[in-house]
Chain A
Amino acid sequence: MTGIPGADPSDEHRVQAGPGLPAYAPGHDRTLDHLAHHAAVVLQGVTAGYDERIALEDVSVAFPTGSLLAVFGPNGGGKSTMLKVIAGLLAPWQGTVSVLGAAPRVHARRVAYVPQAEQVDWDFPVTCWDVVAMGRYPSIGPFRGLRAIDREAVGSALEVVGMTDHARTQIGRLSGGQRRRVFLARALAAEPDLYLLDEPVTGVDPTTQEDLMAILVAEAGRGRTVIATTHDLAAAAEHFDQVLAVNRTVIAHGPSSLVLDEQVLARTYGGHLLVLGGSTVLLDDAHHHDESPRGEQHFHEGDPGAHR
């Protein structure tokens, strides 16, 4: 661990956990206790998994409000699990989680979560407009349809992602990049304080990647917290201020320029990494994106170009 970024050493006052806030076991890291009141997300001693398989083990980390953070690591390394724990979709086996100053789900309406593209039924009978409108649904009461204010938010979200012309298109007829744009628009339309994005720029064309990242940078600039998973190292290094390297537990956390060194990468990806003449080569076992993101080199066993 490279320490907790966002912890301001000059900030002396310590706030005790009050009623309504998650009670932390005494003796835990007091810096994290303190941060619970300033950070958008705090995980403390979190262990989580599915059935009997552990995906995350003893993770303690805090993300300050306004962070633009990439969570990266190998497939199955616990990236998506971390997002689900923060979103309140998965209860941790151990440890405590604070999201926007309370337990997960308490402020769910201020959280927008975008799942991986593979988890969506693209034949579903909805248009781009309909999908983006869903971002507004939680704030609309029973029986009611979209209000004027909701239509405005949907329209402007579609405009921000450049999909206004496709508002009436069924989502299955969009390209991979356009689909990611629409799902980001749904998150924008919800006007959240915390974005949780699972592989938002994986397998999309470079233009879309640039556009989507520019939007996320702008949102972080407005004080919204953005947490995105990626296994695209180049994207993590290039676009995000902060990175968190995860492989079952936290390998490293800090500014991307400092954290992404060979040692950290080696520990994150284990044996799947080769360093050849100063350039790092990731032997990625991931195949689930349509095209290799720029800058990421893939070598597979049996590839004529793979040197062992």
Chain B
Amino acid sequence: MIETLLAPLGYEFFVRALLAAALVGLVCAVVGSYMILRGLSYMGDAISHAAFPGVVAAYLVNGPFYLGAAVAAVLTALAIGWIGRRARLRSDTVIGVLFAGMFGLGVLMFSAIPTYVGDLFGFLFGDILGISVMDLVALAVLGGLVLLVVAALWKQFLYATFDPLGAGASGLRVVALDYLFLALIATTIVVSLQAVGIILVVAMLTTPAATAQLLTVRFGRLMALAAIVGIGTAIGGLYASYFLDVASGATIVVLQTLLFLAVLVFGPRTGLLARMRQPRAA
């Protein structure tokens, strides 16, 4: 058993993938914990799709894809925030418009490339086994930056998420924190693109945090549990995909979803089974 698990570690590309998976699992869980409480899951999905034209543009000019994805994702995130404040439209409406519009732009640019470009498919569905040393360094720097910002401002983010009015009145700059948080989501998505791909990255952000929320009523524990779930499922899913010879990003996401469903049914706090057995009085 142990030998079977150690065997893939002989391959450098697998070790790099493992490190990347753990890092992505951690950063996504930390940012996702705030994201689900702010009701921004749909926003996360939109930002990731909006990164696609940036990735294609970077490919066309031979630039680093991180830069293209980051610019497109951050600009879209800020645009959603700004338009939501300005136009009198519900934010999910604005998200729907920009989400599809940006992804459509990406597909249009993609389809204009005459040759087959397998690399770009990697960004849609993830290609964690293809991560280079340079990619890993970039991941670590960007991921570390996100974690540093959260470590510095975790209290402010928590207060502004829970009670924006009370936080604003006590002097926190709530609007600036909102924009900063959107930028954090965008950066996290850029970090995760290679591992799980544009289409599935929203699951990395929401599912571990949602699973943790089923298990605890304290935010600190929620984030810690989400990190454990995120790192654990990323590593477990990567291994499973290696042995089953299936897509790694998809395996990680499916594993996370199964774990979420298992906790939903069997969990001690919100478990549906526990509730059926022991109907709690109000």
A137 touching B159 in the complex, CB below 8 Å, given contacts A126-B218, A126-B219, A142-B153:
yes
CB distance from A52 to the nearest CB of B (A): 10
Residue of B nearest to A80 (CB): B165
Please, how many angstroms separate the alpha-carbon atoms of A114 and B168 in the complex? 11
Interface residue SS majority, chain A: mixed
Residue contact B216 to A138, C-beta cutoff 8 Å = no
Residue contact A138 to B170, C-beta cutoff 8 Å = yes
Q: Can you list, as one digit per residue, whether each of A86-114 has a CB less than 8 Å from chain B (1) or not (0)?
A: 01110000000000000001001101111
Residue contact A113 to B165, C-beta cutoff 8 Å = yes
Q: Can you list, as one digit per residue, whether each of A75-89 has a CB less than 8 Å from chain B (1) or not (0)?
A: 000000000100111
**Which residues of chain B have C-beta atoms less than 8 A from A113's C-beta?**
165-166, 168-170
* Binding-face segment, A25-33, A117-125, A210-218, A261-269: A117-125
Residue of A nearest to B162 (CB): A124
Q: Can you list, as one digit per residue, whether each of A244-268 has a CB less than 8 Å from chain B (1) or not (0)?
A: 0000000000000000000000000
Residue of A nearest to B168 (CB): A89
A170 CB-CB contact with B under 8 Å: yes
Residue contact B37 to A138, C-beta cutoff 8 Å = no
**Which residues of chain A have C-beta atoms less than 8 A from B170's C-beta?**
108-109, 111-113, 135, 137-138, 190
Contact of A108 among B88, B151, B162, B171 (CB under 8 A): B171
What would 23 A/B residue contacts be, using CB atoms closer than 8 Å? A89-B165, A89-B169, A111-B170, A114-B166, A121-B162, A124-B37, A124-B162, A125-B213, A125-B216, A125-B218, A125-B222, A126-B158, A126-B162, A126-B218, A134-B159, A134-B162, A134-B163, A137-B158, A137-B170, A138-B167, A170-B217, A190-B170, A196-B169
Interface residues of B in 47-89 (CB under 8 A from A): 88
**Which residues of chain B have C-beta atoms less than 8 A from A88's C-beta?**
168-169
Please, how many angstroms separate the alpha-carbon atoms of A113 and B169 in the complex? 6
CB distance from A226 to the nearest CB of B (A): 15
Interface residues of B (CB under 8 A from A): 37, 88, 151-153, 155-156, 158-159, 161-163, 165-172, 213, 216-219, 222
**Which residues of chain B have C-beta atoms less than 8 A from A112's C-beta?**
166, 169-170
Please, how many angstroms separate the alpha-carbon atoms of A27 and B153 in the complex? 46
**Which residues of chain A have C-beta atoms less than 8 A from B171's C-beta?**
105, 108-109, 111, 138
A108 touching B166 in the complex, CB below 8 Å, given contacts A125-B222, A127-B217, A142-B152:
no
Residue contact A51 to B88, C-beta cutoff 8 Å = yes
Please, how many angstroms separate the alpha-carbon atoms of A139 and B45 in the complex? 35
Please, how many angstroms separate the alpha-carbon atoms of A124 and B167 in the complex? 15
B155, B161, B166 pick with most chain A CB within 10 angstroms = B166
